[in-house]
Chain A
Amino acid sequence: GAVVSQHPSWVICKSGTSVKIECRSLDFQATTMFWYRQFPKQSLMLMATSNEGSKATYEQGVEKDKFLINHASLTLSTLTVTSAHPEDSSFYICSARPNTQPQHFGDGTRLSIL
């Protein structure tokens, strides 16, 4: 079945640093990937739609300059949290769709900013 790999699974870093999270589709090509943020015991909030070869589409209220998304190939999208601060600490999850099939999710990245 379709597999989506997300890396790293856990990252702890100091306030002010930038953190890059990778999302890879392992056995299919994905022209579209999605990035979500999940707060403890809450639902997933769609942050942006990552489009291969073009700019990401951000949801209302999500800062484009804060959360940089690059989708340089059909199997890789990256989310960079720039100048991260404690309020950016969260669980970030990516997903990808094989053609018109349902989204398949990565295992998530737990980001902790000290």
Chain B
Amino acid sequence: GNSVTQMEGPVTLSEEAFLTINCTYTATGYPSLFWYVQYPGEGLQLLLKATKADDKGSNKGFEATYRKETTSFHLEKGSVQVSDSAVYFCALSDGGSSNTGKLIFGQGTTLQVKP
């Protein structure tokens, strides 16, 4: 079945450091890929998405590229801020004719950015 695997956290960085959070997936067909962010005590917010191979999603300085050959969707940011501290979830949803809209989440990666 479909699954998503993220690198384990927590990831602790100093402000202005480069961020990479690895995400790989297993899926049949052509899923859409997402990164969601969850701040403490809140629900999830969509950070970025990509719907087909080689698409690059970007938002608020974060980027991720849909790599079909490596089944990956790694999240990157060139210079993190303290306000980026949160839990980041990689997710996929089935696409094509079987699009049920269901999301399958990775286990989440906690990012802590220190001033």
Q: Which residues of A contact B (CB under 8 A)?
A: 4, 6, 32, 34, 41-44, 46, 49, 93, 95, 97, 100, 102-108, 110
Q: Shortest Cβ distance from B86 into chain A, in angstroms?
A: 13
User: Beyond the given A44-B44, A44-B105, could you list 5 further A-B residue pairs with CB under 8 A, ordered by the A residue number?
Assistant: A41-B108, A41-B110, A43-B108, A95-B44, A95-B103
The secondary structure that dominates the A interface is strand
Q: Which residues of B contact A (CB under 8 A)?
A: 32, 34, 36, 41-46, 49, 89, 93, 99-108, 110
Residue on A with the closest CB to B39? A107
> Could you say which of A49, A105, A106 contacts B100, with CB atoms under 8 Å apart?
A49
> Could you say which of A46, A100, A107 contacts B103, with CB atoms under 8 Å apart?
A46
> Could you say which of B43, B46, B49, B106 contacts A93, with CB atoms under 8 Å apart?
B43
Interface contact tally, CB-CB below 8 A: 53
The complex places the Cα of A32 from the Cα of B102 at a distance, in Å, of 10
Residue on B with the closest CB to A97? B101
List residues of chain B with CB within 8 A of the CB of A97.
Answer: 101
The complex places the Cα of A97 from the Cα of B101 at a distance, in Å, of 8
- 13 contacting pairs across A/B (C-beta < 8 A): A32-B101, A34-B103, A41-B108, A41-B110, A42-B108, A46-B102, A46-B104, A49-B102, A93-B44, A95-B103, A102-B32, A103-B93, A103-B103
Cross-chain contact A108 with B89 (CB below 8 angstroms): no
The complex places the Cα of A49 from the Cα of B93 at a distance, in Å, of 14
> Could you say which of A32, A46, A105 contacts B44, with CB atoms under 8 Å apart?
A105
Cross-chain contact B107 with A107 (CB below 8 angstroms): no
List residues of chain B with CB within 8 A of the CB of A102.
Answer: 32, 34, 46, 49, 93
Cross-chain contact A107 with B49 (CB below 8 angstroms): no
Residue on A with the closest CB to B45? A105
Q: Shortest Cβ distance from A104 into chain B, in angstroms?
A: 7
